Amino acid sequence: MTTAKFHIVLRVVKRRMENGESLEDILASYPALSEEEKEQIREAVNGNG
């Protein structure tokens, strides 16, 4: 995933979480993401990335 795509997806994920959705439900709605990409998003959301 390109850096730009990552930042866009991350922004959308954070906004959806602010609206009450769980991170895992959000990630499940992105079947095209690899497990590695999902882990990168988890780390970024949790402040580790």
pLDDT band at 48 (very low <50, low <70, confident <90, very high): confident
Q: What is the pLDDT of residues 14-39, one digit of tens each?
A: 999 999 999 999 999 999 999 999 99
Cβ atoms of 7 and 38 closer than 8 Å: no
Burial of 42 (0-12, 13-18, 19+ CB in 10 A): middle
pLDDT band at 49 (very low <50, low <70, confident <90, very high): low
**Backbone CA torsion sign across 38, 22, 29, 19:** negative
pLDDT band at 7 (very low <50, low <70, confident <90, very high): very high
The domain tally of the chain equals: 1
3-24 mean pLDDT: 96
Domain of 26?
A: 3-45
